[in-house]
Amino acid sequence: MAIDQLNGKIVAAAEMIVHAKSIVVFTGAGISTESGIPDFRSPGGIWTKFDPEDFTIQKFLSSPETRKKQWNILLEGGLITDAEPNKAHRAVAELEKLGKLTCVVTQNIDNLHQKAGNSPDKVYELHGNMRYLRCMDCGARYPVGEILERYRPKNDIPDCEFCHGILKPDVIFFGEMLPQVTLKNATFHATRCDLMIVIGSSLVVYPAASIPIYAKESGAKLVIINNTPTPCDEIADIIINHSAGEVMEKLLEETKKSL
């Protein structure tokens, strides 16, 4: 994209932010690749290292061996636990500080929006959060770091300390429904915002990808910032195929000039 064209789109998007009364930001894997987290399908992504079948809820519940593999993934840690927010995450957090952001709806499980400074109660995680474990029986939730510290020396798979149920990473596996309360809240805000900004999502994974469509159908402006085209480009008001970090940094600077 030519520099003049890019800058023109950024100025136009900044004007939308300045005049908006309620902004919802929708994020996908593309916002976190700049923090060193590969998306699931790219070279180096999780599907190149593990069998997707091990991420079905049916196999997780029925196979102790699969649960052992999952525990080993957590023990290895690395990409998600060590990742830091990038310029795009920090710009989204700054929109909240400026009083322009209603909420973030994210497909990501990396906790980077909260780490960047967004209020946890304004981040709706449609696919869960990899930094926690949840008991499949009683619902108790544990920080991964706390359980790793306790069980790593034992070389044993942990279970729930309350009911001894199976502990599972608190993310959505294949075959599981999205968290219905989270989805309901995300949909509520999407249908009531006047601007939705999509950052780093291919908008092909449903039902999450319906959120921007709900916003547009309810009268909101739609800005899509993504390296590649998406199925929603035809309904977007502004499309910016460029680096999320660079665009969001410039967009924030331009916005501040008019606030």
Domain ranges of the chain: 1-36+86-127+179-259, 38-82+131-171
How many angstroms separate the Cα of 242 from the Cα of each of 80, 89, 106, 227, 239? 23, 15, 19, 5, 9
pLDDT of residue 127: 95
Rounded to two decimals, what is the model's pTM? 0.92
Tell me: the pLDDT tens digits for 205-254?
999 999 999 999 999 999 999 999 999 999 999 999 999 999 999 999 99
Correct CATH for 38-82+131-171 of 1.10.1240.10, 3.30.1600.10, 3.40.50.720, 3.90.320.10: 3.30.1600.10
- The residue written with tokens 């970090």 in the block is 245
Mean pLDDT is highest, among 144-153, 164-173, 217-226, for 217-226
For the record, the structure tokens of 234 come out as 């035809």
Q: What is the mean pLDDT of residues 4-15?
A: 96
* Distance (Å, whole) CA 35 – CA 113: 12
Residue 120 vs residue 80, higher pLDDT: 120
* % pLDDT > 90, the chain: 76
Pick the residue with more confidence: 149 or 78? 149
- What is the rounded distance in angstroms from the CA atom of residue 89 to the CA atom of residue 244? 9
* CA 88/CA 248 separation, integer angstroms: 5
Look at residue 80 in the predicted model and tell me its pLDDT.
Answer: 58
Mean pLDDT score, 17-23: 98
Q: Is 189 a catalytic residue?
A: no
**Alpha-carbon span 77 to 75, nearest angstrom:** 5
Query: How many angstroms separate the CA atoms of 67 and 151, rounded?
Result: 14
Annotated catalytic residue within 19, 127, 164, 242: 127
Categorize the per-residue pLDDT at 50 as very low, low, confident or very high, splitting at 50, 70 and 90: low
CA dist., res. 107 & res. 93, Å (int): 17
Q: Kindly provide the b/e burial profile for residues 134-155, where b requires at least 16 CB atoms within 10 angstroms of the residue's own CB.
A: bbbeeeeebebeebbeebeeee
Furthest C-alpha separation in the chain: 61
**How confident is the model over 118-126, as a mean pLDDT?**
98
**CATH superfamily of this structure's domain 1-36+86-127+179-259:** TPP-binding domain (3.40.50.1220)
